[in-house]
Amino acid sequence: MKTFSGRVAAVTGAGSGIGQALAVELAKRGCAVALADKNLDALKLTQELVYDNDGRCSVHALDVSDRDAVTQFANDVNKRYGEVHLLFNNAGVTLVDTIENQSIEDMQWLMGINYWGVVHCTQAFLPYMRQAPEAHIINVSSIFGMLAVPGQSAYNSSKFAVRGYTEALRHENLGTSLKVTCVLPGGVKTGIMTSSRIKIDRLGSSQSKEEMIRNFNTKVKTTPEQAALRILKGVERDEPRVVIGWDAKLMDLVTRLFPRSYDRILGFRRRFEHQSTIATANRGASNTT
């Protein structure tokens, strides 16, 4: 897609982070934006930012895990604008817990948003996007959709699934007017950690959730605005994959070169072994009191 001017885009997770940055940048480029998020107050802030850039937008309170609500969202967007050219499946959450201890309810919550949200939106918008002379679906996976990390099994599962789903969607539409891109960000300074479910006691970490979030934000260098610009460049170039951030590029390279030992090289194994030792010691101490 060579121009965004005069186009219509739907963006999920538009209340903050990459979704908000995408909405603002699209508005700057003359694209009308349908803003979707579960947090209506956050959406209103994004709406003001779009208006500040002389953009057009509509606000839609949406839980992407709710299939009926997503279908209604797609219908409303098409009815309002008459066409849809771009879909950014960006909404996401994370869960930090061990496979042994995490609850099925927590995993279903995450998969409902991260994976089924992508499926629901794609299927709901596809009929309308087929009618456009050119259209593009952009699904946000993660570099953790390329490699696995201890304590992130649910998140890994969802992002691996999004990557596979997106690549299959692209292959099925080769030679058509519908283009498809999978986005693989590394660490980006978004609010995903704040809205996450982190089971500190299960990981044996000495950090609180607040300390973990501060540590994450200190280490992460990529901003949502930088991520949004790179994503839109990928759309312009019809790139099948967009890897965002030096950390993601490094992990992607190491995983490709050392598929059997990347966990050791990147330090995941050592870090989790240390946390497991602490957690085991804590369990032992609690059993003797």
Q: What share of the chain is helix, strand, coil (3-state, %, to 5)?
A: 55, 15, 30
pLDDT digits (tens, 9 = 90+) for 20-42: 999 999 999 999 999 999 999 99
Task: Answer for the pair 32, 9: CB distance below 8 angstroms, yes or no.
Answer: yes
Q: What pLDDT does residue 36 have? A: 98
Q: What is the pLDDT of residue 284?
A: 41
* pLDDT score at 190: 74
Place of tokens 């030992």: 261
- Amino acid at residue number 279: A
Lowest-confidence segment of 2-16, 159-173, 209-223 by average pLDDT? 209-223
pLDDT-derived band at 212, boundaries 50, 70, 90: low
Told to judge if 51 belongs to the known catalytic residues of this protein, a careful annotator would answer no
On the question of pLDDT at 209 being above 60, the answer is: no
Lowest mean pLDDT among 150-154, 267-271, 284-288: 284-288
Residue 279 has pLDDT above 60, yes or no: no
Distance separating the N- and C-terminal Cα atoms of the chain? 64
Q: What average pLDDT does the segment 173-180 reach?
A: 97
Q: Model-level pTM? A: 0.88
**pLDDT, the chain, mean:** 89
| Range 176-190 average pLDDT | 93
Which residues, 6 or more positions from 167, have their beta carbon under 8 angstroms from its beta carbon?
Answer: 182, 240
Given the residues 81, 128, 155, 262, select the one marked as catalytic.
155
When the candidates are 3.30.70.60, 3.40.50.2300, 3.40.50.720, 3.40.1350.10, the CATH number that belongs to 8-287 is 3.40.50.720
Q: What is the pLDDT of residues 63-72, one digit of tens each?
A: 999 999 999 9
**Weakest-pLDDT range from 134-138, 168-172, 230-234, 274-278:** 274-278
Residue spans of the domains in the chain: they are: 8-287
DSSP structural state of residue 77 = H
